[in-house]
Amino acid sequence: MSFDLFATSSDNGVTKTQLADQAWHLPNFIQNRDNLLKALLNELIQLAPLRKMKTPSGKLMSVNMTCCGDVGWVSDALGYRYQGTDPLSNLSWPVMPDLFNALAKEAAAAAGFENFEPDSCLINYYSVGARLSMHQDKDEADFSQPIVSVSLGLPATFLFAGLQRNSAQTRIALHHGDVVVWGGASRLAYHGVLPVENGMHDLFGSQRINLTFRKAC
Ligand code: MD6
Ligand code: FE
């Protein structure tokens, strides 16, 4: 399939830049919904507190995580998986707020994925220096559904590669309000986040927050 890599187009008022086949960067897609998102996040992290998870090999991840939705992503000595309860409390994860669901569906549709029905949102808080090494999102049952990733707060450099860990990498500067959507031919693309650099954001302080929406089950 051919496409204009990095070509930027606009339709229905949505600007988007193509990163790869079926992978798109939607700058400032969330527009003025940031204050609402912040209020919802503050409620969610009271119900299911942020925590650092351990990789199956026992390393503490640098990102603080929690989840909402029908299932949440969990990592521990047993491996990576989705489960319906928060291991800290054994309670169900908080319900996904309607605004989260609506934004994820809108962004997916803008990137060509109609009928996205996320059942899980992974909420990641990056302090300065936190990073995410190159990985595939492959713990979901259905790879026909895309991944939708919303960035808030401090900027970060997102690395987007192909289907092999050592594929050529594209570097994308992600700013507050940006969304990245990848699916289809790019669904299993390797990606990661370079260490977040020091800074101060008006609304979120010295943190980067990332929401990743998936259809996990
Ligand atoms: C990002 N996040 O923070 C991209 N993947 O921009 C991810 O790729 C990601 O935050 C799996 C689990 C959590 C994540
Ligand atoms: Fe990921």
Place of tokens 């209020």: 39
Number of CB atoms found within 10 A of residue 110's CB? 20
Q: Which atom of ligand 1 is nearest to the CA of 122?
A: 13
Please measure the distance between the N-terminal and C-terminal CA atoms of the chain and give it in whole angstroms. Answer: 29
Question: For position 3, what pLDDT does the model report?
Answer: 62
Number of CB atoms found within 10 A of residue 121's CB? 27
202 located within any domain: yes
Asked if residue 181 lies in contact with residue 149, where contact means CB atoms within 8 angstroms, the answer is yes
195 located within any domain: yes
2 located within any domain: no
- Pocket test of ligand 1: the residue of 24, 30, 62, 132 to mutate, having most ligand atoms within 8 Å of its CB, is 132
Q: Which atom of ligand 1 is nearest to the CA of 210?
A: 3
156 located within any domain: yes
**CA–CA gap between residue 23 and residue 18 (Å, rounded):** 6
* Number of separate domains in the chain: 1
Residue 82: C-alpha distances to residues 73, 162, 163 (Å) = 4, 24, 23
Q: Tell me, yes or no, if the pTM score tops 0.75.
A: yes
| Angle, helix 98-110 to helix 34-47, in steps of 10 degrees | 130
**CA–CA gap between residue 38 and residue 178 (Å, rounded):** 15
The rounded Å distance from CA 200 to ligand 1 centre is 21
CATH number reported for the structural domain that contains residue 187 in this entry: 2.60.120.590
* Tens-digit pLDDT string for the chain (217 aa): 456 677 787 877 899 999 999 999 999 999 999 999 999 999 999 999 999 999 999 999 999 999 999 999 999 999 999 999 999 999 999 999 999 999 999 999 999 999 999 999 999 999 999 999 999 999 999 899 999 999 999 999 999 999 999 999 999 999 999 999 999 999 999 999 999 999 999 999 999 999 999 999 9
67 located within any domain: yes
Question: What would the two tokens of residue 133 be?
Answer: 């090494």
Host domain of residue 46: 8-214
- Pocket test of ligand 1: the residue of 63, 138, 210, 213 to mutate, having most ligand atoms within 8 Å of its CB, is 210
1 located within any domain: no
**CA–CA gap between residue 16 and residue 11 (Å, rounded):** 9
The rounded Å distance from CA 10 to ligand 1 centre is 26
The rounded Å distance from CA 130 to ligand 2 centre is 14
Ligand 1 pocket residue status of 158, Cβ below 6 Å: yes
Quick: pLDDT tens for 170-194: 999 999 999 999 999 999 999 999 9
Sheet arrangement for strand 156-160: 132-135, 191-193, 156-160, 170-174
Ligand 1 pocket residue status of 137, Cβ below 6 Å: yes
Q: Whose CA is nearest to atom 9 of ligand 1?
A: 212
3 located within any domain: no
The rounded Å distance from CA 212 to ligand 1 centre is 6
13 located within any domain: yes
